[in-house]
Amino acid sequence: MIRLHHVPGSRSMRVLWLLEELGETVDLRSWSLTDGGLRSAEFRALSPAGRVPALEIDGRVIFESGAIVEYLTETRGRLAPRPGEAERADFLEWLHFAETQANILQNLNIHHIFLRPVEARSLALMKLDTKRLAVTAQALEARLTGRDWLLDEFSAADCMMGFNLEALFRFVPRADYPATAAWSARAQARPAYRRAAERGGSSAIYTQDFYELPDG
């Protein structure tokens, strides 16, 4: 039995999408960001930082999406180059670059959406993180220009990085990154992605298509 602990629109979507790509049957347990469940002793026993995803598999629990993705590609199917193969270093690089970008997106979510009162926001940090996000988007655009996927073929790295796209274009203009936008459309057209999105649900945190920096 594989059980995925999940919050709609969160990093656990990466794992749910990959499990669908691998054809695995998964028991999905959904949690809320707002009811305190992630801070409970029950959940902290699964994930000590109180964050999703947590995956119950092979008689143990694994947390951290990057670790879960690596484990699944090693034990449940390919979707990743093996050690020693030509694209292995590229796979690992983009797998973990996804978290570099996701952490910046998390900071922008906090400032634009969650931090209250509005006066508590730091405009300087918002500007800095928007610039940092653009740098990661430029790197992704350069990688994807002239290619369909991050590697020669679709891989688990696309699942890791592809999760970020719902948030990325809330803070940087989609029109500035045409190769990335086209890659996002290809990814979201995959049957496994559609199944995961339908089952996992979407994020409810965004109320705007695009978040401008405040004046000041």
Tens-digit pLDDT profile for residues 92-114: 999 999 999 999 999 999 999 99
Spatial strand order in the sheet of 27-30? 27-30, 3-6, 54-57, 60-63
**Separation between Cα atoms, residue 51 and residue 33, nearest integer Å:** 9
Please list the residues that pair with 55 across neighbouring strands.
4, 62
Phi, psi dihedrals of residue 163, rounded to the nearest 5°: -55, -35
Check: CB of residue 196 under 8 Å from CB of residue 20: yes
Cβ atoms within 10 Å, residue 34: 8
Summarised one tens digit per residue, pLDDT across range 146-171 is 999 999 999 999 999 999 998 999 99
CA distances to 40, 63, 144 from 36, in Å: 7, 19, 39
Check: CB of residue 51 under 8 Å from CB of residue 26: no
pTM above threshold 0.85: yes
For the chain, domains (ranges, CATH) are: 3-75 (3.40.30.10), 88-190 (1.20.1050.10)
